Structure 1
Amino acid sequence: MQNTNALITGGGSVKAKLQKLGGFLAGMVIPNIGAFIAWGLITAFFIPTGWIPNEHLAKLVGPMITYLLPILIGYTGGKLVYDVRGGVVGAIATAGIIIGSSIPMFLGAMLMGPLGGYVIKKFDELVEGKIPAGFEMLVNNFSAGILGGLLAIIAFLFIEPVVNGISVGLGAAAQWVTNKGLLPLIAIFIEPGKILFLNNAINHGILAPLGVAEVKEFGKSIFFLLETNPGPGLGVLLAYWFFGKGDAKQSAPGAIIIHFFGGIHEIYFPYVLMNPLLLLAVIGGGMAADATFVLTKAGLVATPSPGSIFAEIAMAPKGGLLPVLAGITVGAIVSFLIASVIVKRASEESMSAESMTFARSIVSGLKAQSKGQKVEEVNPSVQKIEGMPKMIVFACDAGMGSSAMGETILKKKLKEAGLDIVVKHSAVNQIPKEADVVFTQENLAERASQVVPHAKIVTVKNFLDNTVYDEFVKNLKK
């Protein structure tokens, strides 16, 4: 198992950079997923081939995909770099790259949004302390307007043609791969990439822009299914449930609920890492699912996020639900059959609580790397809490996946201990001001303390680590 750790986490400077890029891309896209879903639902219902075609309401589709969604991404990217001021300049710069383009400029927004935030941040650092008293508002407003306007002009004249060419090239390449029947082979890269936490770079950086462009043309896209498909992971968890031993077998049913219905795919990563041969199962399941999607012409109208079966169903177009379910089912069956052989032959020791804990620590390390955090810096830290807190908040980057799981675990432990405390989860930048205690990861602790400076910050290595919560509840009871 130690060799597995070295294999997965070691020697990967390129991988670490890709993980960090993926985390940043996710930070731009995930907060705006609701807007993508709104656009997807409007598309699914009101376009001529939709559930209830309506020519008047269908007019919303074009402007939303052309202007609203890219500008939201550009604003969010700028805000990530330099708060609201960076977001405003990022949105202005993004407007320059989307106006005049014949395709949805998601790649352009991911470029210009952060660039706008960076430029205004550097300007403010340059003039800090040099603005005469009383002229601060004037300089702030005009600097944002002038720099944003210049970036928009540069983007419109010079950057848009380049990005447009790249986007068209990627779309043509993707179409060629699909037409040649080679698309199922992409699972060889996607399934291991997910476990290495490259899923955000793959999904939000590559597949989602391709998918959106296809939806605009065809009303659905297979690219939304390739990374979000919960079938392969479900097959592995089912194999552990039926044929596993010890802690792995006992915990598999709960993991199935979180993965398949909750859409939190990272819950199954430790089960694969306990026996790396199971990569063959998820790859085989992914290839079988993708082949089924191709044969049945399956597609979705928008990104299902998180990758829950409910989200997959909700994003299916009119008449397109059965192909989607067929691909997910085939992927789960093939993954289960391959995983069953591997799990049956595995030793009981490899599925013990110690092996599960070790595998989870690898996943935690990979996730830390994906956010640019040094693994050795992450240490559980439960501080002494003065008095009984009224609100506890779990905070992660997006406020959706791992923080929600941590919230569920601690709620259960507090209830068992007879403690009535409000527990919530949120994105680290949106922690409620009423929070008394915040659970977060080491690399987010400083940001959390800036949002709620009065709160106690508890850093955790792994949101699924029960020992941290047991110690915390024990301290509360004292």
Structure 2
Amino acid sequence: MSQENKGVKVAIQKFGNFLSSMVLPNIGAFIAWGLITALFIPTGWAPNAKLATLVTPMVTYLLPLLIGYTGGKIVHDHRGGVVGAIATMGVIVGSDIPMFLGAMIMGPLGGYVIKKFDKMIEGKIKAGFEMLINNFSAGILGGILAILSFLVVGPAVDVVTGWLVKGVDWMIHLGILPLTSIFIEPAKVLFLNNAINHGVLSPIGLEQAKEHGRSVLFLLEANPGPGFGILLAYSIFGKGTAKQSAPGAALIQFIGGIHEIYFPYILMRPLLFIAAILGGMSGVFTFITLHGGLVSPASPGSIIAVLAVTPHSSSAYIANICGVLVAAIVSFIVSSFILKTGKNKEEDLEEASKKMQEMKGKKSSVAGMLTANANKGKLDPATVDHVIFACDAGMGSSAMGASILRKKMKQAGLGVKVTNTAISNLPDNAQVVITQEELTPRAMKKVPSAYHISVDNFLASPEYDRLVDQLKGNHVESVSEENVEEVSSDKEMDKKVLKPENIFLNQHFSSKEEAIRFAGQVLYKGGYVQESYIEAMIARDQLTSTYMGNDVAIPHGTEEAKTQVLESGVTIIQVPDGVDFDGEKVRLIFGIAGKDGGHLEILSAIAVTCAEMENVEKMATAKSVDEIMEIIGSSFE
């Protein structure tokens, strides 16, 4: 594939992810609307004319406004969300159909416009006039966009939707609607599914549902059958980690409705796109033949959601269940053939998950789900005497996590040794390994016999307490000096590693890269690292986010960059307004350079301190460097 074509593909994938991000946080509202529709409309489970009046306002106003607000907020936080919602109101009022697609356009546009305005006037407003300017700018720009969307965007979307309606009617008339699976199934992997389902199919389906009481269009994208069949085939004919994790993934996909979880399995064997397409086509054909359909969209695409919004008649249930089953059977048969006739090798689930995360352009929780459902080895609490935290470099996040768990083990009276290391240095006899969820596949590959625990918050994960509880019931020992590595209480903070001049208050950054570079420059100018270490810090965060939880990030270099560290050093950067780290707000940044473990005492103190949100709040709002030094220093007492 040429670089140009690859760039276009990545752009489409990121665009699809952005559109999905506007819908996913609001799935609860779609479920509420779907249930109210299924229950109270005239053909519902409990017809009620009064309660049925909720249906139209929810689909006309609530859902598009939520999508518009979320789209604006993604672009420019709350102000972007407010302006996005105002702009969305214009397309809602200016159209006779539900404006999901219009909301996906006007929400982000509103956020973008106010973001550009705020950047233009940044630093130019006189003190005391901030609230006046902020409120009037949002109101004026939002009002202008609402008028524009009312007069132009709404009517334009109406026209486009009219064309699509005619196209769908034409396909139904010719009996070729199943062919839409050729586009819909691959579009899922490009993260365009929510845009297609809610932006295009839902508005058309709602018109059909009003006239006929149901619409098959609601099932084109939401059918869980194709993905379930693929995962079932992996459960029987897959290899290695992919086979081990597939049963759990199938349950999450079919019952939980998270279709995203089977995308890496397709990416491991691209020929499986054929299985997904044929499964989708056979399902649509079955729905049409048996007159299946739903009264409203099924969100998420779970079998439970599908059944919940199926019309209240036995024939409808039979049709929809058959459509799902046929799709699953066909995709299973085709997938099984592809897996059995392909090369006899262990599928690289880790690499496929990375590809999917690259598509999304951000951290995905799916990798964690996959590894969490793999066979992670057995935990025998009675024999565990060593827990290892592992990360890429073994100098930052793993050290902080180890410090917190070490303290919990000591408080519980457990003689369990807790250490940290780089994944590449994990010993073959490791018993329990804790990693960030994106790194768990690498750790499992390194020591498959160990019991693996995935966490997404090294500072405050419930997995720590769960592990301690498991060990307490079966493995109580007295704490010994040999087994518990703890910072000695008579040690003081190493002022050479953390100097007051390396603590910066009231900083502001437009991006996490800018913040990481600032931290790297501090370490470089302080003589702790070579200048090339800065780029290694950027690379490390791209590999796996250095966000630790509790509004804290700890950017540091990759494992390969350890040779660029001259001596251990730490910088603390306070960002009161926060900076975005992959969708997480960070107010405290700890830039780290570790050499021969010289930074571990201070890092341990930082971890223990930041494990309490109250301490984080104090540090994030501290007015002096001395306050921050005192808060961290208290962890040495």
When normalised by structure 2's length, the TM-score is: 0.59
Is 1:356 the counterpart of 2:348? The answer is yes
Q: Which residue in the other structure is 1:269 paired with?
A: 263
| Structure-2 separation of matches of 1:438 and 1:309 | 41
Q: Which residue in the other structure is 1:33 paired with?
A: 27
Change (3 A) 1:112 1:10: closer
Is 1:211 the counterpart of 2:211? The answer is no
Identity %: 52
Q: Which residue in the other structure is 1:447 paired with?
A: 581
Change (3 A) 1:53 1:438: farther
Is 1:83 the counterpart of 2:99? The answer is no
State the aligned residue count: 422
| Structure-1 separation of matches of 2:553 and 2:294 | 40
Q: Which residue in the other structure is 2:514 paired with?
A: none
Q: Which residue in the other structure is 2:335 paired with?
A: 339
Q: Which residue in the other structure is 2:571 paired with?
A: none
Which of 15, 22, 47 is equivalent to 1:21?
15
236-245 or 381-390: which moved more? Answer: 381-390
Residue 70 of structure 1 deviates from its aligned partner by 1.3
| Structure-1 separation of matches of 2:229 and 2:67 | 34
| Structure-2 separation of matches of 1:122 and 1:325 | 49
Give secondary structure in 1 for the equivalent of 2:88. Answer: helix
| Structure-1 separation of matches of 2:300 and 2:128 | 48
| Structure-2 separation of matches of 1:17 and 1:39 | 33
Preserved contact between residue 45 and residue 52 of structure 1 (Cα < 8 Å): yes
Deviations 1:277-306 (A, max 9, x none): 333222221111110111122222333333
Change (3 A) 1:88 1:20: same
Preserved contact between residue 25 and residue 200 of structure 1 (Cα < 8 Å): yes
| Structure-2 separation of matches of 1:148 and 1:362 | 42
Residue 185 of structure 1 deviates from its aligned partner by 0.9
| Structure-2 separation of matches of 1:449 and 1:43 | 33
Alignment of 1:35-54 (within 5 A): 35-54=29-48
Residue 393 of structure 1 deviates from its aligned partner by 12
Q: Which residue in the other structure is 1:171 paired with?
A: 165
| Structure-2 separation of matches of 1:173 and 1:318 | 29
Change (3 A) 1:85 1:380: same
Preserved contact between residue 437 and residue 454 of structure 2 (Cα < 8 Å): no
153-162 or 405-414: which moved more? Answer: 405-414
Preserved contact between residue 86 and residue 116 of structure 1 (Cα < 8 Å): yes
Residue 80 of structure 1 deviates from its aligned partner by 1.4
| Structure-1 separation of matches of 2:583 and 2:242 | 36
More helix by share: 1
Q: Which residue in the other structure is 1:284 paired with?
A: 278
Gapped regions of structure 2 (runs ≥ 5): 364-390, 409-433, 439-452, 472-546, 559-578, 592-606, 609-637
Give secondary structure in 2 for the equivalent of 1:453. Answer: strand
Q: Which residue in the other structure is 1:385 paired with?
A: 400
Preserved contact between residue 19 and residue 197 of structure 1 (Cα < 8 Å): yes
Change (3 A) 1:173 1:395: farther
Give secondary structure in 2 for the equivalent of 1:227. Answer: helix
Alignment of 1:194-205 (within 5 A): 194-205=188-199
| Structure-1 separation of matches of 2:119 and 2:588 | 28
When normalised by structure 1's length, the TM-score is: 0.76
Is 1:367 the counterpart of 2:357? The answer is yes
Which one-letter code corresponds to 1:126 in the other structure? M
Give secondary structure in 2 for the equivalent of 1:102. Answer: coil
Deviations 1:64-90 (A, max 9, x none): 111121111111111111111111111
CA RMSD of aligned residues (A): 3.9
Q: Which residue in the other structure is 1:145 paired with?
A: 139
Q: Which residue in the other structure is 1:120 paired with?
A: 114
Preserved contact between residue 196 and residue 366 of structure 1 (Cα < 8 Å): no
Is 1:299 the counterpart of 2:289? The answer is no
Residue 420 of structure 1 deviates from its aligned partner by 7.7
Residue 272 of structure 1 deviates from its aligned partner by 3.2
Change (3 A) 1:57 1:233: same
Give secondary structure in 2 for the equivalent of 1:299. Answer: coil
Which one-letter code corresponds to 1:168 in the other structure? G
